[in-house]
A and B are shown apart, each in its own frame.
Chain A
């Protein structure tokens, strides 16, 4: 009896560790891709043309469309193209009930753009894992907490970790995996600590609501309300009776807002054409490290007088927003994005090497055990392939699906997600059916070839894909990643002859 409990505990340990590793890999890989969410989004909307509009011209295009088609709307919105996105949108009403169209920045006419789940999918998957309700957010939080504790305990255990960092024994089988794993873990330790802590901090009211429960009786609304500073600096007298009145020239307001806040993301106008019109101008997220939602500056729509903003945050709120902003990596432009992207990919590789190590180490043990253990071990190996090679394959299939699915089809974003999850499910079936090394080789190889041939798909299905630099960047980066996948495929195909001589070498050769 005791023996079985011990065994089941050992299994729990193995499974627990593996599931954590699998989920962390998926979180890190999609998180790394989400660094370039907007660029991937541009690629997934190949209808968007390049443009050379100034903010003033873009707002004018948007407003002239709204004047013509939506003269009676209570609220107009124009979201501006900026250096990461060429999309010009005009909208009416609130965020939920409103209508929104994409305009051709060059003509001002409505631009038919394909429906797509877009680059945002990777961002959403990164912290929800597409689980129902809040479950995914809690799972990701628990994993982040586990990773933080593992990192700190790792530092405590490996007091000599700087020495280990300089130890690399290449081409020595398992020993090399371990060295690669340790080196990347140490090299990226600051990144790992920062990214896990800031990830937890983003959702602090969800993960650790203790202080909010104690001071605000658990009311999130009360907390957010208290967070906002004193209302509007100047509250101009609003006329009680609204009469038709011309809108103030917006150009000077844009210039003023740009001076104060930096590059702009959008303009919205409440009660356009009336005497109580109000203009709100918002900055893009990347102007500062702190993650700012909403905010911006408000102007009187008739006189152009500044009513309020940009809101100054109190030190504690600013601290929280800066820590959150460090996770979102909106600041620092493209160089910073590349740093996050590469660090994220190396972390994914570290987790992948960890998982491979974990299974390689246990391969010997299970080879000598009973039938159930062997079947289970087979499943673990298959899931290992599915999570790493299979997820890569699902991601690239998602991009292919975006270009290959009919442009006008109904429920198109859902169909794209079906391609992603369907492909992922197929890789599991494949990994269960094929011998282990074949499964690795075939999935890595296919993912690599699909990455390398992505520009070909563009060439055959859309016009002028490289009109936008960001689309060219996405394709070139995907090709580079395809190269890495093919290298990994070649690597696992190599017969493992260079083994460290040890007693169990014969057993190893057998199971390989």
Chain B
């Protein structure tokens, strides 16, 4: 199997987007979901955490299926607002 000389960078980028970007996205998504679920803390913590591995799987697949090189990193970008939702009280506290 011959890899075109220029193909390695996109593949590396997508692999990183899948593993690192995917984890960051999943982390933020899980935190936000746990925050938003209208349940008791323990319940929403477990529901969100149990789902997180499915979310991570989807995020990994997304990174490889995304049409454009850069949209593979969309998850990592989305992580920022999601994390803000998930860690809203902590954020307010930090901002004083």
Instruction: Report which A residues bind B (CB closer than 8 A).
Output: 2-3, 5-6, 9-10, 145, 148-149, 152-153, 156, 197, 200-201, 204-205, 207-208, 210-217, 223, 226-227, 314-317, 319-320, 323
Distance (Å) between the CB of A361 and the closest chain B CB? 10
Closest chain-A Cβ to B85's Cβ sits at a distance in Å of 9
Interface residues of B in 1-60 (CB under 8 A from A): 3, 5-8, 11-12, 18, 26-35, 39, 41-50, 52-54, 56-57, 60
Chain A residues with CB below 8 A from B27, complex form? 208, 210
Closest to B43 in A: A316
Chain A residues with CB under 8 Å of B18's CB are: 149
Do A211 and B49 contact each other (CB < 8 Å), given the known contacts A3-B5, A317-B42? yes
Main secondary structure of the interface of A (DSSP, over half): helix
Instruction: Judge if B61 is at the interface, Cβ distance under 8 Å.
Output: yes
- B57 near A6 with CB under 8 A, answer no
- Chain B neighbourhood of A200, CB < 8 A: 53
Docked-complex contact B90 and A217, CB < 8 angstroms: yes
A131→B39 CA distance, assembly (Å)? 38
**Docked CA distance A476–B26 (Å):** 47
Instruction: Tell me the nearest residue of chain B to A10, going by C-beta.
Output: B3
Question: Judging by beta carbons under 8 Å apart, are A317 and B46 in contact?
Answer: yes
Q: Spell out B's residues near A (CB within 8 Å).
A: 3, 5-8, 11-12, 18, 26-35, 39, 41-50, 52-54, 56-57, 60-61, 64, 86-87, 90
Inter-chain CA distance A211–B43, complex, in Å, is 11
- Whether A212 contacts B53 by the Cβ 8 Å rule is no
Q: State the majority secondary structure of interface residues on B.
A: helix
**Is B86 within 8 A of A214, CB to CB?**
yes
For the complex, what is the distance from the CA of A211 to the CA of B55, rounded to whole Å?
A: 13
B56 pairs with A210, CB closer than 8 A? no
* Residue of B6, B12, B52, B64 touching A210 (CB-CB under 8 A): B52
* In contact, B42 and A213 (Cβ under 8 angstroms): no
Determine the chain A residues whose CB is within 8 A of the CB of B60 once the complex forms.
Answer: 149
Query: Judging by beta carbons under 8 Å apart, are B3 and A152 in contact?
Result: no
The reply to whether B45 and A216 form a contact with Cβ atoms under 8 Å apart is yes
CA distance in complex: A40, B32 (Å):
45
Complex-state Cα separation, A428 to B55, whole angstroms: 39
Q: Find chain B residues with CB under 8 A from A223 CB.
A: 42, 45
A8 to chain B, nearest CB (A): 9
Whether A148 pairs with B57 at a CB distance below 8 angstroms is yes
B84: min CB distance to chain A, Å: 11
Whether the Cβ atoms of A215 and B43 lie closer than 8 Å is: no
* Bound complex: CA A211 to CA B34 (Å): 6
- Judge whether B5 and A314 touch: CB under 8 Å: no
Contact A9 to B3, CB < 8 A, known contacts A210-B26, A210-B27, A210-B86: yes
A5, A152, A204, A314: most-surrounded residue (chain B CB, <10 A): A204
Q: Is the CB of A204 within 8 A of B8?
A: no
The answer to whether A320 touches B46 (Cβ under 8 A) is yes
Which residue of the partner chain, among A9, A210, A319, contacts B46 with CB atoms under 8 Å? A319
